[in-house]
Chains A and B, each alone.
Chain A
Amino acid sequence: NAGVMQNPRHLVRRRGQEARLRCSPMKGHSHVYWYRQLPEEGLKFMVYLQKENIIDESGMPKERFSAEFPKEGPSILRIQQVVRGDSAAYFCASSPVAAIEGYTFGSGTRLTVV
């Protein structure tokens, strides 16, 4: 019973490159959430998706960031033209229904922009 799978675990990008972070939710879960954790800070909400729909993207920066959760395949968080300030841990979580029962988290992708 695999949990939430995120890959890669570590990603290094040069400034200006694109970063693609993948998340496969737990089996049976149809709701996916992305959070960003900066050093010494808590988790900041970015986006909430269901299959083929963005439900809430109020935490997404207006430029360079996008997310999708296609009918088939993992959810993708895409960051274009990365800058040093994008360096952080990005966590994906999933839930079977709207998350009144709590989330199951992946192990995160640690993005370093050099």
Chain B
Amino acid sequence: AQSVTQLGSHVSVSEGALVLLRCNYSSSVPPYLFWYVQYPNQGLQLLLKYTSAATLVKGINGFEAEFKKSETSFHLTKPSAHMSDAAEYFCAVSVGTNAGKSTFGDGTTLTVKP
């Protein structure tokens, strides 16, 4: 069975600082990996996805993530935080023939200080 672990349930950065949200996955087969963002009282929006092509994946709103098989990681980064980035971020994994079902991490709440 696949799983993801998001390290740090809350991350706080200053506006303009680097954003780093950590995600480690567990899977016995090559995974598909995703990052989603959720704003208050809304559904989740896909930020970016890794589906076995390039290991460095660029997404919307200036975010990117790098798939590192040796570290079983898929950390999300953004060079310069903006106030509008404040939200909750979820990492998710799907694997194999049941790739229809994604397993989500517990989420990381990002706070951006002025």
Chain A residues within CB distance 8 Å of chain B: 4, 6, 31, 33, 35, 41-45, 48, 55-56, 91, 93, 95, 98-108
Which residues of the partner chain A approach B51 to less than 8 Å between Cβ atoms? 100-101
Contacts A41-B106, A42-B106, A42-B107: A56 and B98 contacting too (C-beta < 8 A)?
yes
Contacts A31-B100, A45-B101, A95-B100: A106 and B106 contacting too (C-beta < 8 A)?
no
Which residues of the partner chain B approach A31 to less than 8 Å between Cβ atoms? 100
Q: Does B111 contact A (CB under 8 A)?
A: no
CB distance A33 to B45 under 8 Å? no
What's the Cα separation between A88 and B100 when bound, in Å? 23
CB distance B103 to A91 under 8 Å? no
What's the Cα separation between A52 and B7 when bound, in Å? 39
Q: Which residue of B lies closest to A108 (CB)?
A: B43
Q: How many A-B residue pairs have CB under 8 A?
A: 65
Which residues of the partner chain B approach A101 to less than 8 Å between Cβ atoms? 49, 51
CB distance B42 to A107 under 8 Å? yes
Q: Does B29 contact A (CB under 8 A)?
A: no
What's the Cα separation between A99 and B100 when bound, in Å? 5
The 5 closest A-B pairs by CB, nearest first: A105-B43, A42-B106, A98-B100, A102-B46, A43-B104
Q: Does B27 contact A (CB under 8 A)?
A: no
- Can you list 24 A-B pairs, Cβ within 8 angstroms, ordered by A? A33-B101, A35-B104, A41-B106, A42-B104, A42-B106, A44-B104, A45-B103, A45-B104, A56-B101, A93-B44, A95-B100, A98-B99, A98-B100, A99-B94, A99-B101, A99-B102, A100-B51, A103-B44, A103-B46, A105-B45, A106-B43, A107-B41, A107-B43, A108-B42
